[in-house]
Amino acid sequence: AEEADVEIRDDPVSTADGVPVEVAGNVGTEADLAPAADRGADGIGLFRTEFLFLDRESPPDEDEQYETYVEALEAFPEGRVVVRTLDVGGDKPIDYLDLPEEENPFLGERGIRRSLGPDADLFETQLRALLRAAGSERGGDLAVMLPLVSTVEEVTAARERLELFADDLEREGVEYAVPEFGVMVETPSAAFMADALTDEVDFFSIGTNDLAQYVMAAERGNERVAELGDYHQPAVLRAIRATVEATEGTDVWVGMCGEMAGDPDLTELLLGLGLDELSMSAVTVPQVKRAVTETNTEDARALAERALSARTKNEVRRVLTENTES
């Protein structure tokens, strides 16, 4: 019922004390674009491209992908569109890719690991399509993001490929531009190495679905360990804070695109932790926008300090409840 009462705001919002915060939508398919725009998303903070590869016999070719990315840019005439490169493996199988049987798929060959390994050809097609989309009319707002990064070398290798394919397009006389470049922070190693990673990227986006799973060693979606894998765990908050801290004094911006970003009860805390952008499924965009406008940065920072010093998940929850009641 509360949801229906929240006003939809198409304009970008700022905190009560005037700090602009980007509130973006997570999308999987072209069909998600209009609902995200209708609910007031400023742009797309996470385009999960694996959906382009599902339910078909073979992967989409370069032209098909190019058209999809351009369509996404056109759906948000003023907003940024962050396209994540293919994130398969783990819980995301694709039949024609012939993924290996692994005992622990979440700890196996997934995300960027496959793109730099057995799926190198798909990675090339996707990066070429993205370079071309970045060279299109609305391309200045395109950003490319790598999933499941755990080392600096993965990022430099991916960046080298992007530059190599840009050179190919140049030689071929095809129009292109090099898009903004970022990584998801969704492994403990990425959070620990965030300071080194800032030299390689324009932005981070924290994926709390995987980050909570890996920080807590509690499989996502497994009911038996759901309490452990909860994003209210203080260890998860500390991993977020460490990531943001690494960007301070740099030009790297930090967003969040895991489920946690769409929880309006946590917006003040997340802004207090220092996030610049929040991306979520379309449905919660209006509530989060409202929560942003009600946040005062100084109070949010104090709230984050209290939450970061909590020792248990229940203490974190108590800090949040006391804050709403006061």
Question: Is 209 marked as binding a ligand?
Answer: yes
Cα–Cα dist 216/229, whole Å: 6
Burial of 224 (0-12, 13-18, 19+ CB in 10 A): exposed
Q: Catalytic residue among 130, 212, 257, 304, which?
A: 257
258 binds, among Mg ion, ligand PEP, none (CB under 5 to 8 A by kind): ligand PEP
Separation of alpha carbons 139 and 141, rounded Å: 5
Answer with the entry of Mg ion, ligand PEP, none that 208 interacts with (C-beta below 5 to 8 A by kind): ligand PEP
Structure tokens at 164: 């190599």
> What minimum distance in Å lies between the beta carbon of 69 and ligand PEP?
18
Judged by CB, which is closer to ligand PEP: 25, or 207?
Answer: 207
For ligand PEP, the binding residue among 79, 179, 182, 258 (CB under 6 A) is 258
106 DSSP 8-state letter: G
Task: State yes or no: is 257 an active-site residue.
Answer: yes
Determine if 229 is a binding residue for ligand PEP (CB under 6 A): no
User: What mask of x and - would describe binding to Mg ion in positions 166 to 195, judged by CB under 5 A?
Assistant: --------------------x---------
SS (H, E, C) 248-309: CCCCCEEEECCHHHHCHHHHHHHHHCCCCEEEECHHHHHHHHHHHHCCCHHHHHHHHHHHHC
The correct pick among 43, 89, 207, 229 for binding Mg ion (CB under 5 A) is 207
**15 and 21 in contact (C-beta within 8 Å)?**
yes
On whether the CB atoms of residues 251 and 202 are closer than 8 A, the answer is yes
Q: Binder to Mg ion among 22, 119, 180, 210 (CB under 5 A)? A: 210
Q: Which residue has the tokens 């929040």?
A: 278
Query: Taking CB under 6 A as the rule, does residue 207 contact ligand PEP?
Result: yes
Q: Which parts of this chain interact with Mg ion (CB under 5 A)?
A: 186, 207, 210
Residues annotated as catalytic (active site), given as ranges: 257
- Residue numbering of the annotated binding site for phosphoenolpyruvate: 48, 84, 209-210, 220
